Structure 1
Amino acid sequence: MQEVRGVKRLLFFLVSLILLVIPLYADDGGYSIEAYKVKIEVSEENIFNIREDIDVNFITQRHGIYRKIPIKNRVTRIDGTVSQVIAKVSDVKSNTVSTYHTEGNDKVIKIGDPQVTVTGKQYYVLTYTYDLGKDVGKGYDEFYFNIIGNEWDTSISNVSFEIELPKAFDANQIDFSVGAKGNTSHQGVYYEVEENRITGYYEGSLQSGEALTIRIELPEGYFTATRDNVSWSINLNILMIFPIVILIVVLLLWLIFARNPREKIEECTYLPEGLSSAEVGMIYKGKASNKDAISLLFSLAQKGYLRIIDMRDEDSKRNLDNSFEIEKLKDYDGEDKAEEILFKGLFKRRNKVNEKNLRNTFYKTVDKVKKLVNEKDKRASVFKKSASRAKVVAIILAILAHVRITYLSFAYGGYSGQLDAVTCAIIGSTVGVMLLAININKENITLSIGLITLGVILIGGFGGITFVPLLSNYQELIPVTIINQVCYVVMFKVIQKMIKRTPYGQKLYLEIQGYKKYLENIDHRELNRLKQDHSNYFEDMLAYMMALSISQKIMEKFSNLIENPPIWYEGQNFNSNGFINRLYRMMCSVEASMSSEPSSSSGDSGGGSTGGGSGGGGGGSW
C-alpha cells in the first residue's frame, strides 16, 4: 500500500514538473537572450544614437531575430498623466543581413538571412537613431526611456546599459523601474554616475513581458529640439475641419427635420378653443413646464372649484412664510384629467391648504400634471417625432465633437491628463448643451438668464478645458480652439430651434403667437371694447397669461377692467389700481411653493513606471 502511494507521489511530481517546464519552452520562442547591452548617446536635440549588443542562444533552427521599435509612444507616469510622443527612427544598421519596414505604430527590423537558418549562440549588433523631437513636458524636460521594452517573448539575462547625456543633470532625479508594465520597483538595478554618463546593470533576468525603464527629470529647456511632428500637422487640419463638418451636419438636421416655415403672425383676441392653459404652454414652448401645470389652479378657481385667500397685508411684512391659502368649494366634476390630478393633489383628505402644506411636497403632483400634458399622444398631433430624434442626434454630435477636439488638442500639445480633460469636457459640454438647448422662450426671464449663465460657466469652465493647451507654446492650436468654440455656440442656437411642428401644431402656434402679440399691443380703445363685450376677460384669461409668462407690466393694462376682485379671490383692502401688482406677487408665491423641492443631502510631473517611457518595444525570433 505504501509502495502504491509512493508511485502516486512520484507521478504527481513528474506531472507537475512537466507542467512547469512546458510553459518555459512554450514562451521562449525557441531561443533565449543570454546578454543584452544597450548604449545610448543623447544629444541636446533630444535625438538618441542607440547601439544594442544582443547575445542569443537558439534552441531550434531560426533565421534570426526581429526588433519592434515604437514610433508612436504613449508615455505614462505613475501619477496617471499620459503624453503622446511620435518618434522618427532612422540610420538603421546591423552586423548582418537585415531588412526593416513600418508596421502599425512600430518600426520592425528583421535581422538575419532568410536563406540561412542558425542554431546555438549568435551575436547581433543593431544601431539606429531615435529622434523624439520637441520635449513634451511642461515646466520640465525629461529623459524617459525603456532601455529594454516589455514586448520581448523570451527571457533576457545579463542586461547592462550605458547612457551619456549631453550636459550636466541632477543625479538625484534618476529613477529606474523594472518588471511587468506599470511596476515602479527598481530592485536589482545597480548603476553609477560619472559626470554625464550613467552605467549599470540588472542583477536578475527579465522574463517575457518585463521591461527595464529609466526616467530622469531635467530642467526646462535642457533639450533644444524644435522639430514638430509631421503627422500631427494632418491632425491639426482634422481638428479645424472636424467641428465645421459637425456644425454643417447639425444645420442640415435642422433644415431637413426641424425647421418651421416663417409665416406672418396675425393678432388674435382669443386663444384656440378647446385647449387648457397647460396645453397652450406646452404647444408654445415645446414642453409643459411647472408654470404651465400650476396655471391650471387659476382655471379651477375661475370655474368655481376653489377660492384663493391672499394672506399678505399691504406692506407685505407679515405672513411671509404662509402668504396664501387655497380653500375647496366643491368636488371636481369636470372632464380635464390634468385639472383633476391637480385638484385631488391639493385636497387629499382636507378642504383647505396653505403655503406651508404645499412647500417641498406638492411638486410631485405638479410633475404628474406635466407628465400627462407632455404625453406622446398629445404631442404627436402638434410636434413631429423626426425633429425630436434630430435634436437628440445633434446634441450627441455636439458633445462628441467637443470631447474629441479636447482630447486631440491635449494630445497634440503634449499635455498630460487627457482623460481628466475629456471627463471635464463631457461634464461641461453635456450639462451645458442641456441647459442652453432648453427651449426657454422667455418663460421666465430670471430663470432664462440663470440657465444661460450656468450653461456658459459649465462650458467655459469645464467644457472650456479645450483652451488649456493654448497656455503652451503650441500657438497653432489657437485657430483650432477658436473655430471649435464658435461652432459649438452656433450649434447651441441651432439645437434650441429644433422643434418641428405639424401643420396643425403650426396653426395653433401662430394663433398663440397672435394672442401674445394682441396682449402686447392692446390699447385703451380695445380695453374699453372688452369692458363692454367681455367684462370678465382678464379673469377668464389669467391662467393662459400665466402659462405664456405675460409680464406684470402688460397685465396692469387691464386694471381698468377690474372693478371688483374675482369671485375666487379673497384679500384685504381691495384697490383696482394695486390689485394686479398684489395678484402677480401672489401668483409668484403660489408657483414657487407648489414647485419647490427639498434640497438633496449629501502638482508635480509624476514619476516613471516600467514600460511607461518612449522606445524599448520588443522582439522575437523568426
Structure 2
Amino acid sequence: MRKKLMYIFLFFICSFISFNKIVNAEEYYSELMPQSKAVTMVNIDKITLENFGVIKYVKIGTDQGTRFEIIGRFTNGFDSDVNVKLKYTFYDGAKNVLKEYNEDIIAYKDYGASYTKVVQANSDGYSIDDVKYYTLEVSVPMEVSIFDGADTGSYFYDNFHSEINVKLNNIYEVNEKFLGKFKGSVRAIDMDIPFRHKYKRADGANINKRAIISDISASDSYDEYIKKGLKVVTIGNAEQGETEKEFEFGYKYNVGKDKIKGNDEVFFYLVNNNQVEINNYTFKINLPQEFDKNNVSFVDGNGNIVDNIEYKVEDNSVIGKFTDVVKTESIYAIKILLPDNYFVNTTLNISNNTWIAFVLPVTFMVLTIVIRFMGKKEKNKKNNQVGLYLDEEVNSLEVGYVLNDGLKETEISSLVFYLANKGYISIESDRKGYVLTKVKEYDGNNKIEETLMKRLFNEKSSVTRKDLKENLLNIKEEIDKIFKYKKNKRFFIRSVFNYKLVFWLMILVIYFVVMNDLLFEYQPNLLLVNVIPGFIGLVIMLIPLTSKKYQLIEKILCVMVGVVLIVSPIMLTSYESFLQDNLYVAAYILGVVCIVSIAVTTSMMNRRTAYGNHIYNKIIDYKSYLVNVSEEEIKEAVKNNSNYFYDVLPYVLIMGMSDKFYEKFDKIELEQPSWYHVNKFNLEDFYTEVKNIYSDFYIALNKRI
C-alpha cells in the first residue's frame, strides 16, 4: 500500500510541474526535456497523450536500487482501435544519447487509460544517475487523414463498382468489386443482404416481400450467418502487414412476383444502411428489355429523389456514380417503373419453412381428430337387447369405468353394495352409525374386488366410518393401476397411451415448426432460447387442462405459468420477427389453434375396444330403459326376484339415477336384504343409510374425513 500511495503522489506532482504548450500534429517530436519535466498534452488527430514524463525512484519500499518509470495517459477519439508508436531517448548531461526505447501501444476505441513502463537502467549499460534529459516522439503510423469523418474508423471501401443484371424472372444478379483500405492491417469484412425486400412503390403502395438469396460467391473464403433479418457474409481473414485488399462479392437476389397490378418495377438498394464508408462508388444496372429512361429515379430511405448520383442510360443499361463519399448508415436505391407483365415466370417466394408451418399443423390436427373418432358409428349403434338386467359379467365399478372413461371415487363406493349383494359384506345400522362386517373371505377371480375387500377390512372382521380414511388410503391409485395393466385391455385400446404420447409429440413439433418459420430468417440463434421455455410452458399448461386429476385453481395457475414461459422469450428477444411478414403471424395463430385442438382431442383420447364399445352401448341402453321402465314391469320384476332392487342398486348409483329409480319402488313393499341388519326395516331409512355410506366412502377416498 505504501508503494502504491507513493506512485499516486508522484504522478500528481508530475502533473503540476512545468509543461510544454499543447501541440497538434500527426507526428510529435519534443524538444530536449529535463528529466524533471513532462509533456502536458499531445494531439495527433484524435489521439491525445497527456502528462507524459519520466519519474526517478530511489529505494522505494522493498526495491533495492534506482529505476525510472515512464508514465502518462492516452485517449482515443476514433471509432476503432488505433496503433500508436512511442519513442523515448535518454541523454546524459553533455546531451549524448544513452539509450532509446521504442514501443507500440494500442489506443482502444473511446477509451482513456494510464500508461506505465518501468526502466531498469543499470541493466541496460548505463546508470540512472547519468540521465539528465529525454525526448519523446509520438506517431500514428498510417494515413489517419484518409479516414477522417468515417463512422467505422477502422476501414473503408474505395473504387467500389456494383453491376446488377436484372433477369426477366425478376432475379437480380449482383456482382461487386472494391478495394478495402484498413487502419493497421487487413481484416475480415461483413456484407449484409436483407431477407425482406421492403420499399414504397411509385404509386405509394408499401411492398414487403421475401427475397430468396442464392449463389453467393466471393474472392476469398467466407462464412455465412443470419442476424436480425440479414444474411451476413463474412469474407476473408486478418492479414498482418497488409493495409489494402481487393474484394469481389456476388449473389442472386430473387424478389419474386409483383403483388400489385398495373405496373412492374425495378427497385434495388445500391446502399442499404451500410456500416462502412464508400469512396468512388460506380454502378451499372442491366435490364433484359427496353424501358422508358424517363422512369428512372434514385431515392433515399424516405423515398425522396436524391441529387448526389449522376447517371446515363445506354441501350438497356443504367450507368452511374455517386458524386461524393457515401457515408455510413446511408440508404440509396434505384427505381425504374416498367409496364405491367414486364417480368415473367416469377415466383411466390414462400419459404419451405412457411409452407410446413401451414400444412403440418393442419395435417396433425385432422389426423388426431380422425383417430379419435374412428369407431364412432360403432359406439353410437344401438343394441336391441335391453331388459331389467344389464346381462353382462361386469361389476358396478367396471360399469362406471367404461361409462366415465376412467376411475372415479363414486365407482369404488358403489362396489361396497355390489359385494354386499354377493354375500361378502354385511351392514349393521343403528342410531350410533353403521358397521361393515366381513362375512367371508373373497373367493372370486376379480382382482379389483379382492383388493377392495383386503384394503377395506385390513385384517379385521369389521370396520366403522372412522376406519375408512386410513384403510382406503391410496386405494384409488392401486385400483387404477390394476385397470391400466389388467382390466383396461378388455375395455380400452391398450396402445391409447402411445396415441397420446404421439399427439403430445405432434404438439411439440408444431410449436417448433412455427417458431422455426418465425426465426429462421430473422435470428435463428434465438430458436432454442424461445423453443425450450415454450416446450416447458406447453407441458405445464396443457397436461392439467387435458386431465381430470387437477382442480380448477391448479389449472388456472398452470395456464398462467405456461403462458408466461411461452410469451416471455418472444417478447424479450423476438417480437420484431412478427413484424417481418403477416404470413408469420398467420402461421403462428394457426399453430396455436391446432395445438389447442389436438390438446382437446387428446383429453378425449380413451378409445374403447370392440368389447368396450359393446359394454358402453349396453350401459347407455340399460340406463335409458331404467329411466322409462313402467310400474307394471317393476312389480313383475320384484314378483320374480324379491332381491331385484338390491341387485340393480349398485348400478343405478354409479349411473347417477338412484333417486329416480328409488321413486319407482316407493309404493312397492320390499323385503329386507339379507346383508342389511336393523331393528326395524323400512325402504326409506335403508336408502338414506345407503346414501350416507356411499357419501362417506367418497369423502374418505378424497382424504377429507
TM-score category of the 2 structures, normalised to the smaller one:
0.5 to 0.7
Q: Give the aligned residue type for 1:398.
A: I
**Which of 562, 571, 591 is the aligned partner of 1:462?**
562
Please tell me whether residue 248 in structure 1 is matched to residue 366 in structure 2. yes
**Which of 370, 374, 378 is the aligned partner of 2:480?**
370
User: Does the CA contact (< 8 Å) of 1:268 and 1:514 recur in 2?
Assistant: no
Question: What's the secondary structure of 2:184's corresponding residue?
Answer: strand
Mapped partners of 2:524, 2:429: distance in 1: 61
Mapped partners of 1:257, 1:528: distance in 2: 39
Mapped partners of 2:642, 2:565: distance in 1: 59
Identify the residue that residue 501 of structure 2 maps to in structure 1. Answer: 392
Higher-Rg structure is 2
Quick one: structure 1 residues 417 and 560, their matched pair in 2 at CA, closer, same or farther if it must change by over 3 Å? farther
Quick one: structure 1 residues 353 and 247, their matched pair in 2 at CA, closer, same or farther if it must change by over 3 Å? same
Mapped partners of 2:668, 2:520: distance in 1: 68
User: Does the CA contact (< 8 Å) of 2:541 and 2:562 recur in 1?
Assistant: no
* TM-score using structure 2 length: 0.47
Offset, 1:370: 3.2
Deviations 1:46-73 (A, max 9, x none): xxxxx9835349xxxxxxx654668899
User: Does the CA contact (< 8 Å) of 2:222 and 2:236 recur in 1?
Assistant: no
Aligned-residue Cα RMSD (Å) equals 5.5
**Which of 405, 409, 426 is the aligned partner of 1:307?**
426
Identify the residue that residue 192 of structure 1 maps to in structure 2. Answer: none
Offset, 1:291: 3.6
Mapped partners of 1:483, 1:432: distance in 2: 18
Out of 476-485 and 393-402, give the one that drifted further. 476-485
Identify the residue that residue 450 of structure 2 maps to in structure 1. Answer: 340
Out of 388-397 and 101-110, give the one that drifted further. 101-110
Deviations 1:584-614 (A, max 9, x none): 343122122035389xxxxxxxxxxxxxxxx
Identify the residue that residue 353 of structure 1 maps to in structure 2. Answer: 463
Mapped partners of 2:192, 2:455: distance in 1: 68
Quick one: structure 1 residues 479 and 36, their matched pair in 2 at CA, closer, same or farther if it must change by over 3 Å? same
Identify the residue that residue 298 of structure 1 maps to in structure 2. Answer: 417
Mapped partners of 2:240, 2:534: distance in 1: 57
Offset, 1:577: 4.3
User: Does the CA contact (< 8 Å) of 1:268 and 1:515 recur in 2?
Assistant: yes
Quick one: structure 1 residues 34 and 263, their matched pair in 2 at CA, closer, same or farther if it must change by over 3 Å? same
Question: What's the secondary structure of 1:121's corresponding residue?
Answer: coil
Mapped partners of 2:659, 2:520: distance in 1: 53
Quick one: structure 1 residues 574 and 456, their matched pair in 2 at CA, closer, same or farther if it must change by over 3 Å? farther
Greater share of residues in strand: 2
Mapped partners of 1:101, 1:420: distance in 2: 27
Q: Give the aligned residue type for 2:423.
A: G
Aligned length: 418
Identify the residue that residue 62 of structure 1 maps to in structure 2. Answer: none
Mapped partners of 2:417, 2:644: distance in 1: 13
User: Does the CA contact (< 8 Å) of 1:289 and 1:370 recur in 2?
Assistant: no
**Which of 506, 510, 516 is the aligned partner of 1:401?**
510
Deviations 1:21-76 (A, max 9, x none): xxxxxxxxxxxx9999896469xxxxxxxx9835349xxxxxxx654668899xxx
User: Does the CA contact (< 8 Å) of 1:426 and 1:463 recur in 2?
Assistant: no
Please tell me whether residue 122 in structure 1 is matched to residue 268 in structure 2. no
Please tell me whether residue 568 in structure 1 is matched to residue 686 in structure 2. no
Quick one: structure 1 residues 507 and 275, their matched pair in 2 at CA, closer, same or farther if it must change by over 3 Å? same
Deviations 1:276-332 (A, max 9, x none): 223333444444444434432222222232233567x7xxxxx9xxx7542333333
Percent identity (aligned): 22
Question: What's the secondary structure of 1:333's corresponding residue?
Answer: coil
Equivalent residues in 2 for 1:125-204, closer than 5 Å: none
Identify the residue that residue 503 of structure 1 maps to in structure 2. Answer: 610
User: Does the CA contact (< 8 Å) of 1:556 and 1:581 recur in 2?
Assistant: no
Deviations 1:413-469 (A, max 9, x none): 99999878656644553355444545x7xxxxxx8xx76786576447625865676
Deviations 1:204-245 (A, max 9, x none): xxxxxxxxxxxxxxxxxxxx9xxxxx9998756654444323
Mapped partners of 2:519, 2:610: distance in 1: 47
Q: Give the aligned residue type for 2:369.
A: L
Mapped partners of 1:407, 1:415: distance in 2: 8
* TM-score using structure 1 length: 0.52
User: Does the CA contact (< 8 Å) of 1:295 and 1:547 recur in 2?
Assistant: yes
Identify the residue that residue 379 of structure 1 maps to in structure 2. Answer: 488
Q: Give the aligned residue type for 2:398.
A: E
Greater share of residues in helix: 1
Quick one: structure 1 residues 466 and 431, their matched pair in 2 at CA, closer, same or farther if it must change by over 3 Å? closer
Mapped partners of 1:310, 1:414: distance in 2: 74
Identify the residue that residue 701 of structure 2 maps to in structure 1. Answer: 594
**Which of 180, 184, 188 is the aligned partner of 1:55?**
184
Offset, 1:268: 4.0
Offset, 1:406: 6.4
Q: Give the aligned residue type for 1:296.
A: L
Identify the residue that residue 483 of structure 1 maps to in structure 2. Answer: 590
Offset, 1:262: 3.9
Equivalent residues in 2 for 1:428-467, closer than 5 Å: 429-430=538-539, 433-438=542-547, 455=555, 458-459=558-559, 462-463=562-563
Deviations 1:531-587 (A, max 9, x none): 333332231122333444446455554444574554434579865446545533431
Q: Give the aligned residue type for 1:393.
A: V
Quick one: structure 1 residues 381 and 307, their matched pair in 2 at CA, closer, same or farther if it must change by over 3 Å? closer
Mapped partners of 2:438, 2:588: distance in 1: 60
Quick one: structure 1 residues 406 and 573, their matched pair in 2 at CA, closer, same or farther if it must change by over 3 Å? farther
Mapped partners of 2:370, 2:236: distance in 1: 55
User: Does the CA contact (< 8 Å) of 1:436 and 1:452 recur in 2?
Assistant: no
Question: What's the secondary structure of 1:483's corresponding residue?
Answer: helix
Offset, 1:509: 2.5
Q: Give the aligned residue type for 1:339.
A: E
Question: What's the secondary structure of 1:270's corresponding residue?
Answer: coil
User: Does the CA contact (< 8 Å) of 1:358 and 1:593 recur in 2?
Assistant: yes
Quick one: structure 1 residues 341 and 240, their matched pair in 2 at CA, closer, same or farther if it must change by over 3 Å? same
Q: Structure 1: any 5+ residue segments left out of the alignment?
A: 1-32, 43-50, 58-64, 74-86, 91-96, 113-117, 129-145, 148-223, 225-229, 314-318, 441-446, 599-622
User: Does the CA contact (< 8 Å) of 1:425 and 1:464 recur in 2?
Assistant: no
Equivalent residues in 2 for 1:222-237, closer than 5 Å: none
Quick one: structure 1 residues 252 and 503, their matched pair in 2 at CA, closer, same or farther if it must change by over 3 Å? closer
